[in-house]
Amino acid sequence: MKIQALGNMKFSLKPTNCNLSIQKLSVCIPLTVYLFFICLLNFTSVPLRSTERKTLEQFFKSTIVQNKDKSVVLSVNVLDKESLKRNFNIEDRKNMPPTELLASIFFKVDKNGDKLLTIEELSEYIHLETQKHINEGIQENYGLFMSIDRDPANGVVSWTEYHKYFLLKNGLGEDYADRHNEKHHELQRSLKELIARDRASWSEAA
């Protein structure tokens, strides 16, 4: 690049060396940053466990132990045993941290209190919980059946009885449930679709 100055004097500026330095920097800086991150990933360990996982490790130190008779047991040490041995209702369990819930179940399963869970103890607990769940389901279904079978209460649930129960359950009044247009012009589309689906399922089961 040439710049004309006073009179016939000419000054010649050659920024070749400057351009070369800029080109080198534009290549070296990204390369250096890239190599830095590669080294950072290779020589540092990134923790993959969440905070909840660390809390679990604070509560438990678990080891699998194999006895001479080939039975496998789980050994667990818990920090606060007494507070976890008390019985919890359903609402308490919903609000409990997973670690405390797991610990409370552990002590219920560990019948002999040796801090070891045997296959027999686990099988017995699973059987009892399954039976309990079935019995609760039967009781709930019986109560639900009796609340639907009302007009008449003859031990058979008709579509009319179920349909009335459905309408009341979805916030509609007693008057509407007793006297309404079968096309349900007043209802939202989502409720109409649910009614149509239930009616189709009812017809298939009949």
pLDDT value at position 206?
A: 65
pLDDT value at position 42?
A: 65
Distance, in Å, from the CA atom of 41 to the CA atom of 98, rounded to the nearest integer, reads: 33
DSSP 75: E
pLDDT value at position 190?
A: 87
Q: Taking the chain, what is the end-to-end CA distance rounded to the nearest angstrom?
A: 95
Beta strands in the chain (DSSP E): 2-4, 10-12, 63-66, 72-75, 116-117
Which of 91, 94, 92, 128 has its CA nearest to residue 108? Answer: 128
pLDDT value at position 131?
A: 93
* Residue 157 CB partners (closer than 8 Å, separation 6+): 145, 148, 149
- What are the tokens at 6? 């006073």
Confidence of residue 13 (pLDDT cuts 50, 70, 90): very low
Using the predicted structure, report yes or no on whether residue 127 has a pLDDT greater than 90: yes
Q: What is the mean pLDDT of residues 64-91?
A: 50
Question: Read out DSSP for 154-200?
Answer: SS---HHHHHHHHHHHTT--HHHHHS--TT-TTS-HHHHHHHHHHHH
Summary mean pLDDT of the chain: 71
pLDDT value at position 25?
A: 63
Q: What is the mean pLDDT of residues 168-189?
A: 82
Using the predicted structure, report yes or no on whether residue 112 has a pLDDT greater than 80: yes
pLDDT digits over 135-159, tens only?
988 888 888 888 888 888 888 888 8
Confidence of residue 93 (pLDDT cuts 50, 70, 90): low
Distance, in Å, from the CA atom of 168 to the CA atom of 147, rounded to the nearest integer, reads: 12
Confidence of residue 21 (pLDDT cuts 50, 70, 90): low
Using the predicted structure, report yes or no on whether residue 116 has a pLDDT greater than 50: yes
Beta strands in 110-164 (DSSP E): 116-117
pLDDT value at position 134?
A: 92
